[in-house]
Amino acid sequence: MPGQIRKSCARTWCGAPVVLLAATLGFVTGPFQPATAQPATSPTAEVVIEWNRVLSAAFAVPGAQPATIFFPRPYAILHVAIFDALNSIEPRYMPYHVRVNAAPGASPEAAVAQAAHDVLVAMLPTQQAAFDTALAETLAPLSPGAAADGAAVGAAVAREILELRRNDGWNRT
């Protein structure tokens, strides 16, 4: 049923040791490429790369980054939202936090872009105009119905991830 949300155990960080181990092994043994990995030139991969560029450009704006140890946090939240949005439409893995049921034909590119957009607007609201432009550019070539369905998934995922991280203590000193 579209719009239904299912949460995982990520709130308790049950997968953190596994992620740390996998990252460490990746640095030691080289990158792991599962047999079902999409080629780096897929439309979805291009959208993910583009939103990395959008965030990097946002941090290049003078005064955009707070004086705290803040830099990695938006990237982490951005990619968690992207992962759960894409995984909601093309389920392959256990979600980090949430899986939203998507309408058939929902665009994964729209889901990724909308999740990224909404996370970045929430975290860097003074740069909303740039994020709105990037979102419009991503959605423009997509069919309207598929884009709307994908964007609905991305927006729902972004809300859930932002709520999960709202009181995570990142700004305590």
Q: What pLDDT does 105 receive?
A: 97
Give the contacts of 26 (CB within 8 A, at least 6 positions apart).
Answer: 32
pLDDT over 90 percentage in the chain: 52
Q: What pLDDT does 32 receive?
A: 40
Q: What pLDDT does 99 receive?
A: 96
Q: Which of 13-17, 50-54, 67-71 has the highest mean pLDDT?
A: 50-54
Q: What pLDDT does 140 receive?
A: 97
| CA 18/CA 2 separation, integer angstroms | 31
Is the pLDDT at 167 greater than 90? The verdict is no
Could you tell me if 115 and 160 are in contact, meaning their C-beta atoms sit under 8 angstroms apart?
no
- pTM score above 0.85: no
| CA 108/CA 47 separation, integer angstroms | 9
Q: Please, which pLDDT band fits residue 3 given cuts at 50, 70 and 90?
A: low
Least confident of 25-39, 67-81, 146-160: 25-39
Q: What pLDDT does 122 receive?
A: 95
Is the pLDDT at 63 greater than 70? The verdict is no
**Burial state string for 127-159 with b = 16 or more CB within 10 A and e = fewer than 16:** beebbeebbeebbeebeeebbbbbbbbbbbbbb
DSSP state of 39: P
Averaged pLDDT, 166-173? 77
Give the phi and the psi of residue 99 in degrees, each rounded to 5: -125, 125
CA dihedral of residues 12, 18, 20, 24 (deg, nearest 10): 180
Q: What pLDDT does 30 receive?
A: 43
Q: What pLDDT does 150 receive?
A: 98
17 vs 112, residue with greater confidence: 112
Q: Please, which pLDDT band fits residue 14 given cuts at 50, 70 and 90?
A: very low
